[in-house]
Chains A and B, each alone.
Chain A
Amino acid sequence: MEEHYIDRRVREELEGLEANPPVEAWAEISDALALRRKRSVRYMLSGIAASVAMLAVSVLTYWLLTDRVDTIPGAYSETQMPQAISPVAPALTVSSPGIIMNPGAERPEISTSGYLFASLGEDVLQPADDNSLALLTVDLPERYPVTELMAQYPSGSFSGSVNKPYTERIYDFFAAFSSNEPHKFRVGAHFSPQSSYRVYSGGVGPAYEDIPYGALEEAMLTMGAGISGYYNFAPGWTLQTGLNYFRTGQYIRDIVSYNHPSSLPLYGQERTTGRVLHPQTILTSQGSVALFDQYHYFADVQSSRVITSKEGLEGTEIRTLKRSGEGISQVFSYIEMPVVFRYHILRRGGIDLHVKGGMSGTYLIGNDVYLGRNIYQNPVGETFGVREINFSAIGGFSVELPLTNRLYLHIEPTAQLFLNPVLREGFMMGHAYPFGYSLVTGISYGF
């Protein structure tokens, strides 16, 4: 079929149409992707948390509502029919071993006549729960002395509920799932390789909104170390605290550094303070980087993150420079005091698994920006306005392997998220919250 001339005319013009999308489009797509990922992780974690919570509640509910039956040896058998008893209690017969039926009642009367014998350790009978009534009913006063009943059935015994207070049941619940902690106190030391990055949302002002930070920054690997003390305060429960040193930060891509071909300084220094008069600032999602390195000129090859003041180098000077490296690392060092609760959930083959969670206070002790990925040598700048005191949430698991009777090896996958932005108010372009995944590895000694 011949193509309509209007169709042809439009197709010829528009088929290969290309147009530049708005500059902010990528930032919005990147944010939407990050949000989507965050949501999917959140849904997954919520699902796991909800499942664990439901399981825990179900087990706890079952534990609390199900009477544990303590049977005393020598229960009734059909051949041990009890005889008539005192006027207080009616004649009883045994319908099956260990179960006493009221012969006068065809169906148990739940509201008034049904009582389950309490633990024989108690001196009175307690009202039964509904589930027990069908099995064990007898017309007795609400509080009937067990001793008297026992006297009338000297060779018998009864099954009954253990009517412990709920607080004791909860304690029993935890105790039943936990092995006995062999040491009340422990001390330990650890080191922790960590992958750190940040959660970032939003930039403020036209200069920042156009920069797709998400596409230009990435996580970095850092190391930490620390000492810990542990106190076993309840069956299965341990309180952990201590002192840690760790670093967090990010790697900034596509910032290229140049220096003089003869490695001469490019910028002067203030005479009195010795401060380098570097004319450039680099924008990152975790703040503005002030440079104090005399030898490097920086350029952004992807976006507009390098801001150069009018005192910067001229075009002719720049053209003589030699490319010396790529990327910068933005690092913050902290001392941390955590307060973490650990709960023992499993023991298999002598190996213990704990789940842990808590909070920590951190204090900033280092703020450096390095060339490339080497975060131990030659800092070239620092970040403006970094918050000194911070709080973070900690969660994870701990696997403990006994090395001797007192010495344990710990391997602990741990996640940590700052609860406050990394920058102080007034320095924030967006909201960047550092986080890290670490594998805390160490030993502890029990006493």
Chain B
Amino acid sequence: MDPLRKIVKGCLQNRKDDQYRLYARFSRKMFGICLRYSASYDEAQDILQEGFVKVFSSLPSFKWQGSLEAWIRRIFVNTAIEKYRERVYHLPAEEVMDYEGYSSSNKGPDMLNARDILALVQQLPLQYRLVFNLYALEGYSHREIAEALQIAESTSRSNLARARMLLKDKLVREMQVVVKAI
């Protein structure tokens, strides 16, 4: 039997060792996703925990009609969206939408590594970050984003434009720092 199917079978029988194996297999990738959707390491950890609990609880509904990884990834994206909805109800609108500022890494755009780019994305305002992630990395359409976040399609478009502008602004500034240095 395919080792992954064996692990899933064990998880369905509530075998803790198999649950741990499944976690060990996907936790690094999923934590990468969690980091993209969150503003901090702690927040990412919350999404990771909640996401895996949902994965284990929902495994009986997985029918092997697609890739397990894609299915798990979908759960994590949905968990991030749910977290956003929870936060939206508790935060004043300006905190969801406002520009929060960036930290400087003093590197040119091509010299920025994944960690630096992640830091830029993490510093986007909550709603911009979510819209940008869903559009640019998950391939959602504006209509799908609008439905998921319960916002207007036009809001999704403007949030994406603002997110791009903020990221571009930062990249340009970084480039200027590099040019001056040369």
Contact = CB atoms under 8 A, between A and B. Distances in A.
A11 B28 contact: no
B118 A25 contact: no
Interface string B87-121: 00000000000000000000001001110011001
Given A6-B168, A215-B16, A15 B137 contact: yes
Given A6-B164, A14-B118, A15-B137, A21 B16 contact: no
B49 A25 contact: yes
Given A6-B168, A36-B53, A18 B32 contact: yes
Interface in B52-109: 52-53, 56-57, 109
Contacts of B117: 9-10, 13-14
Given A32-B53, A33-B53, A17 B114 contact: yes
B19 interface: yes
Contacts of B29: 18
A19 B136 contact: no
A36 to B, nearest CB: 7
A12 to B, nearest CB: 9
B158 interface: no
B73 to A, nearest CB: 11
Nearest to A218: B16
Given A20-B28, A33-B53, A253 B167 contact: no
B155 to A, nearest CB: 18
Interface SS of A by simple majority: helix
Closest CB pairs A-B (n = 9): A17-B32, A7-B136, A215-B20, A18-B28, A13-B117, A215-B16, A21-B31, A13-B114, A6-B164
Contacts of A4: 136, 164
A29 B52 contact: yes
A28 interface: yes
A322 B17 CA distance: 25
A28 B23 CA distance: 12
A214 interface: yes
Interface of B: 14, 16-17, 19-20, 23, 27-29, 31-33, 35-36, 41, 45, 48-49, 52-53, 56-57, 109, 112-114, 117-118, 121, 132, 135-137, 164, 167-168, 171
Contacts of B28: 18-21
A44 to B, nearest CB: 15
Point out which of A17, A20, A216 has the most chain B C-beta atoms below 10 A from its C-beta.
A17
B24 to A, nearest CB: 8
B48 A14 contact: no
Contacts of B114: 13-14, 17
Interface residues of A, number: 31
A214 B168 CA distance: 47
Nearest to B42: A22
11 contacts: A7-B135, A15-B137, A17-B118, A18-B31, A20-B28, A21-B27, A21-B31, A22-B45, A25-B27, A25-B49, A216-B17
A268 to B, nearest CB: 36
B121 A253 contact: no
A287 interface: no
B170 to A, nearest CB: 10
B45 A14 contact: no
A37 interface: yes
A26 B30 CA distance: 13
Given A13-B117, A212-B20, 8 more contacts: A4-B164, A10-B132, A15-B137, A25-B45, A29-B49, A30-B19, A215-B19, A218-B17
Contacts of A17: 32-33, 35-36, 114, 118
A216 B19 CA distance: 11
A17 B112 CA distance: 14
B49 A28 contact: yes
